Structure 1
């Protein structure tokens, strides 16, 4: 909840901390006693996993357990250089922990900035406090857009309407009177009031629901679920292959069980894509940190990914395309009304609302209440469903009956064809907002209200366009993301604003009151329309559902309480930091600086994460495929496994580990596409088969070329050379499109391997020794053929998936 300005009896704004003159609330001593008894709203607001959870999640993984057991086996049989993969495990784990802790600090800091601060009345003074500082019996003030943070009982109500749909599913707001219950998790859509906290902490209704998930719960993510699916397949594939490899190597090696164990471990270790999960975590964590610099709070981490997949963005005009503030530019009286009389009524209406919206705030700024003239007897607060507010007034001298007055949308209050509508429409077509001041012949509480109204004046407001709105709309157009402007304002006015920003389709605004009720027909209209006006909160929700029914990934942005339901139902909800607390509570992304221009950065970050994880997944899974194929071929041919763990650790580090780290964090503007697992396997499967086949052929040739004592290292070196060269070509393929640093990265990895081959100490350490010329050149020739096969497979698959 924001620190709302309050008003005194005359409507003059007073700061928080000023005595209210109403129920005083708890005293300081009573608060202290309740705190001592533990009667505090102590539900922790978690913005991320705890440190212990982060460490546990990065250490206690399935593959860390597998590789840990294999490392222990290597420690027993030796030599230790075959246990280099253990160092990789440790490095991966530490990097993952550090990156997630860094992201946690960013999230926690942003969460504190965006945390709600309910207004609580104590010792007759209203002041904002932290949500966790509310105690049992506190008197919590409520206004439009506020979220009820604890359970309670209404103590004061002035037209107080609360929406409980997020809890009960009931779509209609509930009018609350003193004594009525209030559930935490509901929010105010109209009116003001206060309630006494009866349940706090874990006893509150919303807190009990929240036990199932933290505030930053991992919602569905195709990327995460896809990687998990791949890892599940790899785990089940490893078991039979590993058993066959163990049996084969023990039989082939005879009495040398230590060598058999080393070769068996060398076959199993590369099957594990251990760095894939790490790099995905790093990519998300770095994304959080980068967006944090833009004052963007990501309340659910996969929302970065989700917004990158969005193909339709629904915008609420006010607070998104336009700034929240407005200015009164004209007061046009109607039907002989004196301007002084209209101004006097407007002053009274301004004084009647302690939580004015942006439109009424502009009226108050132009005609501030002065404590004289009409007095307020009864009020009806503004709501997005009604499109008007009202008050019953005394006469100009403060006595007698001054009638019931309304301030709202002209096209809602007046019948079609009314002469006053022409003037309102003419101004609305210029992008101005127009309010009608009118007198009604019915009591405000009458079910048939507003009844017949008598126009008194048109209040014309000028809306301020956000300077960055046009640039942001053009970005979405360039990225093939459809933009729908969905507003409660007059359709012509909204269309004029959108046209000013050069939004395609803005010249054909749609009045939502004419939208069909049938879901299929509604989806057809929304699919082809761009600008919609006079949209009710329920219609916003229906329109989001209609777009999703057409297969669209929909993002909804907004800042008002009328956007809550649509934000909740959208694939991704984006709220402004200055918006209502209810809006921020249901959104996955909160723009703390209220800048609509931050959205392109979020989309770009999501595309970077998805595109780069897809790219490096091809590297990791190519290795898994060729490792499994090599193991199967070894079992079938009943030959010693060609590699020791140290060889594949070296290859994995140079052709996958180091390059993948840089590629995963590089810029990437590719549009996110669905079916992550299918697309990755379609590329990595053929490449892995080609790489594994070329390597095994090279190994079989080396078995014929080299025999006798000391031939094992030569055979292994020839196979290693072939596999390295083919893997380098795979890396070169995946690094496309080339930039200077990507070319330098590929060349640097090749240079590192060359250093190993020509440095005697490294030759001994890695057991790599190229013997003669026939073996090495044969290995190179086979690698060239294998690389050509990889290129052909890549091009073929690329054409089929284009």
Structure 2
């Protein structure tokens, strides 16, 4: 081997490569850039349509009706500021979990960020770490999980001169490797981006709103032209009035309010969770959390503390006493580069002189459930799960498993170790059992019970013996502790058939963990998975939402939707319920926003259809102007819904968000349409002026909106009553203020219009109560 390679690059060589651009500057940041945030908030379909309408109003100098665009600008600005705050929080928390790469330069080991690597750098990688750049193995042996690149769950063995692909993970072993490609030249640069960042999460709310926006976006231009031509050519209205009335109809059809509030609510949740030391790497995962009805738990580090300790060593043969067994274990663990919690517990217990030199090593694998090492003067030593290495059950092992301990067997063989086809030897001899205890996490029982009471299904998926897992689950208060299966003894087909009904899965391989999640998803469940080990990666990626502990393997942290920086499983309920709060509150207040979308569409259709009546006096022009809609929005769609989104609401999320919200908004929208038609016809018959008609319609429109606000505030509390008083008071104060009346083109209700207002609102209130009760029973 070239000794200069092991010495690594010199500083002069590093600077030369940096000058040549041979730097690994292709990064896969989970955080969006400032420019992306600005684009996402500014260059949207909503903003584009509003901008065109604003240009049309500016062209006819309808300046007072441009107030709505100030609100659009403020919302965009607020979205940018909120996202930048969230980005700052994410970036700050990411610094706490960002992994350095051990790099050898000038013969010294230094820790570098992945993007600081240059072509030819020598890096040291160990189990659980992600490969930052394509590299050739110089020294060592490892088994690599390339599932992120190939989709295959089988581990790939890597020896000297083998190519390590960026984006894959070391499942076991440790190597020295030389960077072979950097930046965009990496074989898996695009796949690395996919593997390191969180997979896209479908937001059902935003998908529903996108469907609605797509529909309105298609009809808004032809509707706008039709309304404009109708006003100009058939009603012979001035250009300014025609543009103003047509613009109001188009603005009302755009469901911009609910979309903006949804994004703001999700971003607020990201910030709140960040303050609770929960790193959210994808905003829409908050919504997915709300819909989780099946939580799959990895035992280690979630129900238990993940702080293992060797409780006892039980000799199984008189040939090897306690001293001899301790000597073998001391040599084995001293040579081993395994860094999993079990290995660390053994390493802590067995410290001393190394009696046996190592000839070769096969690191522990979560697929095999065992590791092996050939020791000079002794033979091949195996350490792993008894059921994977021994043909018959050991009674002492069963007793330890029933106590909730993890059990390993130390065994010996005289057969040579075969790295290419690792298998259990025929002459294996069991020497001793190691009983390893992992204490149950404080508060785990209460957490499991609380989740179950909130209709969240629970399953435990573990690589441990199912008897051990069942015993621990029983101690933790897990109701279905008796429902378990040993996955090492069943086929994939049997596992699929048992996935729905079984509660505890033991001896699960990484592939089987993924299969369980897939099966639950096909059964209609929204799944969340907690884990902390590299053997959980496939299942974490498959789950709808992945939650990992900060103390876990670096690989899991980089692909997770959420990282618990406190590594406390007891935080999980609060995280789930934060998602429920956002989604339930948005669904609760959505009808308030959709009333305007529905009545604007219906009135626009009626206005266009009225042309067919053939008489100009029967042609209906859209009855509202933008400044009126904007003013009402501040007191109906603005402050009340925003405040209500912060209220605690942890009930399970109901499906069909858009359909249910549209149905709840429909009665109010029909009331608005009826009000316009009735007041126009009745007012004309009574000789009312346009100002009187406009004033009555303004009050009716605001009052109908407040009916939905009242419903959203039920049951009434002091805070909600104060919210209603503030909103209604603000609406009346602005409507009665002379200067604002002039802007709104309204006056005060008269002796003729006020009684009509009272009668209509009395009838509407009764209808609203009856329809609301009917809908609540369905």
- For the criterion TM > 0.5, the same-fold answer is yes
| CA shift for structure 1 position 789 | 2.3
Matched residue SS, 2:471: helix
Mapping of 1:662-673 within 5 angstroms?
A: 662-673=643-654
Change (3 A) 1:703 1:266: farther
Summarize the alignment of residues 20-35 of structure 1 with structure 2, pairs less than 5 Å apart.
23-35=6-18
TM-score, normalised to structure 1, is 0.91
The match for 1:414 among 383, 390, 395 is: 390
Name the structure 2 match of 1:613.
Answer: 586
Q: Helix, strand or coil: the match of 2:317?
A: coil
Matched, 1:513 2:488: yes
User: CA offset at residue 438 of structure 1?
Assistant: 1.6
Cα gap change, 1:173 to 1:217, in 2 (>3 Å): closer
Equivalent residue number for residue 438 of structure 1? 411
Distance 1:215 1:378 in 2: 36
Residues of 2 paired with 1:355 and 1:261: CA distance? 73
Query: What is the CA–CA distance in structure 2 between the aligned matches of 1:674 and 1:117, rounded to whole Å?
Result: 43
Q: Is the 8 A contact 1:325 1:463 kept in 2?
A: yes
> Within 5 A, what are the aligned runs for 1:273-352?
273-336=255-318, 337-352=320-335
C-alpha displacement of 1:705: 2.9
Q: How many residues are treated as equivalent by the alignment?
A: 765
Which residue of 448, 459, 473 corresponds with 2:448?
473
Contact 1:252 1:640 in 2 (8 A): no
Does the aligned pair in 1 maintain the 2:62–2:240 contact within 8 Å?
no
- Asked whether the equivalents of residues 554 and 572 of structure 1 are also in contact (C-alpha less than 8 Å), the reply is yes
| 1:311/1:554 contact within 8 Å kept | yes
Correspondence 1:480-495 to 2 at 5 A: 480-495=455-470
> What are structure 1's unaligned runs of at least 5 residues?
1-19, 395-400
Residue in 2 that maps onto 1:227: 209
**Counterpart position of 1:393:** 375
**Counterparts of 2:703 and 2:465 in 1: how far apart (Å)?**
66
User: Would the aligned equivalents of 1:139 and 1:196 in 2 still touch at CA under 8 Å?
Assistant: yes
Summarize the Cα distance change of 1:404–1:262 in structure 2 as closer, same or farther, 3 Å threshold.
Answer: closer
Output aligned runs, 1:200-599, within 5 Å.
200-209=182-191, 215=197, 218-251=200-233, 253-254=235-236, 256-336=238-318, 337-371=320-354, 373-394=355-376, 401-416=377-392, 418=393, 421-445=394-418, 447-518=422-493, 521-599=494-572
Of the candidates 136, 145, 154, which is equivalent to residue 137 of structure 2? 154
Q: Displacement, 1:200?
A: 0.9
Cα distance in 1 for partners of 2:196, 2:518 equals 26
- CA apart distance, 1:468: 3.5
CA RMSD of aligned residues (A): 2.3
Deviation at 1:697, TM superposition (A): 1.9
Decide whether aligned partners of structure 1 residues 321 and 450 sit closer, same or farther in structure 2, where only a CA change above 3 A counts. farther
Q: CA deviation at 1:426?
A: 0.8
Query: Residues 353, 551 of structure 1: CA spacing in aligned structure 2 closer, same or farther, 3 A cutoff?
Result: same
**Alignment partners' CA distance in 1, 2:707 and 2:159:** 73
Matching residue of 1:398: none
Q: Shift of the alpha carbon at 1:503?
A: 0.7
Unaligned runs of 5+ in 2: 611-617
Q: Which residue of 2 aligns with 1:192?
A: 174
TM-score by length of 2: 0.94
Per-residue deviation, 1:21: 12
Give, in whole Å, the separation in 2 of the partners of 1:58 and 1:347: 60
Whole-Å separation in 2 of the counterparts to 1:177 and 1:212: 27
Distance in 2 separating the partners of 1:527 and 1:440: 41
Q: How does 1:94-173 map to 2 (within 5 A)?
A: 94-158=77-141, 160-173=142-155
Deviation at 1:253, TM superposition (A): 4.3
Q: In 1, distance between residues paired with 2:214 and 2:562?
A: 31
Structure 1 position 661 matched with structure 2 position 661? no
1:181 corresponds to which of 145, 155, 163: 163
Q: CA deviation at 1:472?
A: 2.4
| Structure 1 residue ranges (4+ consecutive) displaced by more than 4 angstroms after TM superposition | 210-214
Preserved CA contact (<8 Å) 1:698 1:779: no
1:353 shift after superposition: 0.8
Q: 1:78, CA displacement in angstroms?
A: 4.3
Instruction: Tell me the distance in 2 between the aligned counterparts of 1:487 and 1:214.
Output: 24
Query: How far, CA to CA, are the matches of 2:114 and 2:599 in structure 1?
Result: 55
Q: Could you say if the C-alpha distance between residues 676 and 210 of structure 1 is closer, same or farther in structure 2, counting changes exceeding 3 Å? A: farther
Q: Compared with structure 1, are the counterparts of its residues 66 and 174 closer, same or farther at alpha carbon in structure 2 (3 Å cutoff)? A: closer
Residue in 1 that maps onto 2:53:
70
- Work out whether 1:54 is the aligned partner of 2:37: yes
In the alignment, the residues of structure 2 paired with residue 695 and residue 24 of structure 1 have an alpha-carbon distance, to the nearest angstrom, of 83
